[in-house]
């Protein structure tokens, strides 16, 4: 019978070709080794990453350290499904992971950490379906708005003419109601129809858009909301329409402000991501703009639907802001996603950066 001999070269071939990310930490939770899949996932080389503490490499929504410490103490392995993580490079992933404690014969134990990112393809196809459903709903409403626009103008005009003929002030009150309500509907219809005309595309720096929105937003009277910048100044220009992008970002920032109420923090963050997929297409370089707030979070009942038109969690909301923002970002070949829990709501806008070659 042949005896399997595992040579170091077999071992390294296996580790090099594993699709799961494998990381080995020492008992102080500092990285000792990571395989090429992990290097890809974290966007760094062994040389850059080895020695870093786990808490810097991986941020988990459910605190990870207490369970890891317990596992190290007891020696028991553990695993978890579909956990949300934020990685050192700012990337947010959902992954299954498992932890095994390796007991050395001599010396301190080590911690083997395996990460299996959830099939991104599955997420992408879900996103695609959602986006096309949102598009269909939006188009339906735009069609309806278009049909309402002309008769509404007629109604308003007729009420105005009638108002002029009336002598009795009491009767004029009725025509006022018609005119005011027609104006209110007109505004709604205009928002449903959105900006008309083709986007005016030019190379622009995203920070000029963000600074514009920031200037509009800071110094609101009676508000203690702080807006922080976390910009990557080296991000190349994108091709876009600055008015449309300002509108999209403003809609998201306004929501954050409304959710925060009188006080709280909003972070405007920019990053460049390599090899990022939007819809069906993988791009070499993508601009990620995040608007993060520490408010109460999107109400759970509407979390899956907020990009649909007419979905609102606010008494005075029309539920159009995000739907419009999504459409505008779409016109730039991009996508908006939302990840929200109480205390941390992140809206991420991804727009491809066209690179040469
Ligand atoms: N940062 C956030 N924190 C908490 N909830 C949010 C946040 N952003 C959006 N939401 C929720 O999503 C809903 C939809 O937002 P959207 O901007 O589309 O509509 P709206 O703000 O209700 O109305 P409109 O923008 O048309 O005035 C909001 O009503 C709110 O409940
Ligand atoms: Mg809004």
Atom of ligand 1 nearest to the CA of 338: 8
Query: What are the tokens at 313?
Result: 């969690």
One domain for residues 138 and 207: no
- In a mutational test of the pocket of ligand 1, which residue from 248, 267, 291, 306 has the highest number of ligand atoms less than 8 Å from its CB? 306
Q: Which atom of ligand 1 is nearest to the CA of 291?
A: 1
Inside any domain, residue 41: yes
- State how far the Cα of 192 lies from the Cα of 212, in Å rounded to an integer: 24
Nearest CA to ligand 1 atom 13: 312
**DSSP letters spanning 161-195:** HHHHH---HHHHHHHHHHHHHHHHHHHHHHHHH--
Choose one of 248, 311, 314 to mutate for the ligand 1 pocket test, by most ligand atoms within 8 angstroms of C-beta. Answer: 314
User: What is the C-alpha to C-alpha distance for residues 77 and 99, in angstroms, rounded to an integer?
Assistant: 5
111 and 172 co-located in one domain: no
Q: How far does residue 337's CA lie from ligand 1's centre (Å)?
A: 13
Q: Ligand 1: residues whose CB is within 6 Å? A: 251, 255-256, 259, 293, 295, 297-299, 306, 311-314, 317-323, 345
Whether residue 339 sits in one domain with residue 217: yes
Nearest-5° angle of CA 315, CA 306, CA 95? 140
Asked if residue 216 and residue 113 are part of one domain, the reply reads no
pLDDT at 120: 59
Task: For residue 97, count other CB atoms closer than 10 A to its CB.
Answer: 22
Q: How far is the CA of 249 from the centre of ligand 1 (A)?
A: 13
Domain check: are 221 and 87 in the same one? no
Kindly identify the ligand whose nearest atom is closest to the C-alpha of 310: 1
If asked whether residues 107 and 158 sit together in one domain, one would say no
Going through 173-250 in order, the beta strands assigned E by DSSP cover 202-204, 224-230, 238-240
Q: At what angle do helices 321-330 and 242-260 cross, to 10 degrees?
A: 150
> What CATH number corresponds to the domain at position 92?
3.30.450.20
Q: Phi/psi of residue 219, each to 5°?
A: 65, 25
pLDDT at 124: 64
Note whether 221 and 306 are same-domain residues.
yes
Place of tokens 């809206």: 347
How many A from CA of 311 to the centre of ligand 2?
A: 10
Centre of ligand 2 from the C-alpha of residue 79, in Å: 39
Same domain, 276 and 319: yes
**What is the C-alpha to C-alpha distance for residues 267 and 288, in angstroms, rounded to an integer?**
13
Cα(13) to centroid(ligand 2), Å: 52
Of the listed ligands, the closest to the CA of 314 is: 1
For residue 160, give both structure tokens: 């105005």
Q: What is d(CA 355, CA 286) in angstroms, rounded to the nearest whole number?
A: 10
- Quickly tell me which residue has 């007629």 as its tokens: 154
Counting as low any pLDDT under 70, the low residues of the chain are 1-3, 105, 119-126, 220-222, 356-357
The total number of structural domains in the chain stands at 3
pLDDT of residue 231: 97
End residue of a domain, out of 118, 145, 163? 118
274, 283 Cβ separation under 8 angstroms: no
**Mutational test site, ligand 1, from 134, 312, 316, max ligand atoms within 8 Å of CB:** 312
Domain end: 82, 102, 118, which one? 118
Residue 77 belongs to a domain? yes
Q: How far is the CA of 323 from the centre of ligand 2 (A)?
A: 9
Say yes or no: 112 and 132 in one domain. Answer: no
Per-position b or e across 31-43, b if 16+ CB within 10 A of its CB: bebbbebbbebbb
Determine, yes or no, domain membership for 3: no
Ligand index nearest the alpha carbon of residue 323: 1
Instruction: Give the sign of the dihedral formed by CA 118, CA 291, CA 349, CA 207.
Output: negative
In this structure, the answer to whether residues 111 and 18 fall within a common structural domain is: yes
d(CA 120, CA 274): 15
Residue identifier of the C-alpha nearest atom 14 of ligand 1: 312
Q: Which residue has the CA at smallest separation from atom 6 of ligand 1? A: 298
**Do both 97 and 128 map to the same domain?**
no
Instruction: Walk across the sheet containing 21-25 and list its strands.
Output: 31-34, 21-25, 110-117, 92-102, 78-87, 58-60
Strands (DSSP E) contained in 218-262 are 224-230, 238-240
Contact indicator for 311, 321 with CB cutoff of 8 Å: no
Question: How far does the chain reach from its first CA to its final CA, in angstroms?
Answer: 55
Predicted confidence at residue 3, as pLDDT, reads 64
- Which ligand 1 atom sits closest to the C-alpha of 345? 1
Say what angle helices 206-217 and 242-260 make with each other, to 10 degrees. 40
CA 83 / ligand 1 centre spacing (Å)? 26
Would you give the DSSP letter of residue 53?
Answer: B
136 half-sphere exposure, CB direction, 13 A CA radius: 6
> Rounded to whole angstroms, how far apart are CA atoms 39 and 22?
9
Coil, helix or strand at residue 59: strand
Ligand 1: distance of its center to the CA of 301 in Å? Answer: 13
Q: Which residues contact 4 (CB under 8 A, 6 or more apart)?
A: none
Greatest Cα-to-Cα distance within the chain, rounded to the nearest angstrom: 110
Q: What is the CATH number of the domain that holds 304?
A: 3.30.565.10
pLDDT at site 123: 62
Q: Which of 96, 118, 140 is the last residue of a domain?
A: 118
Q: Which of 103, 91, 95, 89 is nearest to 45 (CA)?
A: 89
* Domain interval for residue 146: 122-193
Q: Are residues 184 and 323 in the same domain?
A: no
């Amino acid at each position: 019978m042949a005896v399997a001999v595992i040579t170091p070269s077999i071992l390294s071939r296996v580790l090099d070709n594993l699709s799961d990310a494998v990381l080995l930490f020492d008992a102080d939770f500092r990285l000792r080794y990571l395989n090429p899949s992990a290097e890809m996932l974290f966007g760094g080389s062994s040389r850059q990453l080895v020695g870093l503490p786990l808490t810097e490499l991986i941020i988990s929504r459910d605190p990870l350290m207490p369970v890891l410490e317990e596992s190290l103490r007891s020696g028991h392995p553990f695993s978890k499904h579909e956990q949300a993580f934020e990685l050192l490079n700012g990337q947010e992933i959902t992954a299954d992971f498992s932890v095994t404690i390796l007991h050395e014969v001599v010396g301190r134990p080590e911690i083997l950490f395996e990460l299996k990112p959830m099939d991104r393809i599955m997420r992408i196809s879900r996103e695609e379906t959602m986006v096309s459903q949102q598009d269909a709903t939006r188009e339906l409403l735009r069609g309806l708005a278009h049909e309402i626009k002309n008769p509404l103008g007629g109604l308003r005009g007729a009420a105005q003419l009638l108002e002029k003929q009336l002598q009795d002030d009491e009767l004029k009150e009725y025509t006022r109601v018609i005119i005011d309500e027609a104006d209110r509907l007109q505004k709604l219809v205009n928002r449903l129809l959105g900006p008309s005309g083709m986007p005016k595309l030019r190379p622009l720096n995203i920070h000029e858009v963000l600074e514009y929105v920031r200037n509009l937003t800071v110094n609101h009277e009676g508000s203690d909301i702080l807006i922080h910048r976390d910009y990557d100044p080296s991000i190349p220009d994108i091709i876009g329409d600055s008015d449309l992008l300002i509108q999209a970002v403003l809609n998201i920032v306004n929501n954050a402000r409304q959710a925060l109420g009188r006080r709280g923090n909003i972070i405007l963050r920019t990053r460049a991501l390599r090899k990022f997929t939007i819809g069906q297409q993988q791009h070499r370089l993508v601009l990620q703009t995040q608007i993060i707030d520490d408010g109460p979070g999107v109400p759970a009942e509407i979390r899956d639907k907020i990009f649909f038109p007419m979905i609102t969690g606010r008494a005075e909301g029309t539920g159009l802001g995000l739907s419009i923002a999504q459409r505008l970002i779409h016109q730039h070949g991009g996508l908006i996603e939302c990840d929200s829990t109480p205390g941390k709501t992140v809206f991420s806008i991804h727009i491809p950066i066209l690179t040469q070659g």
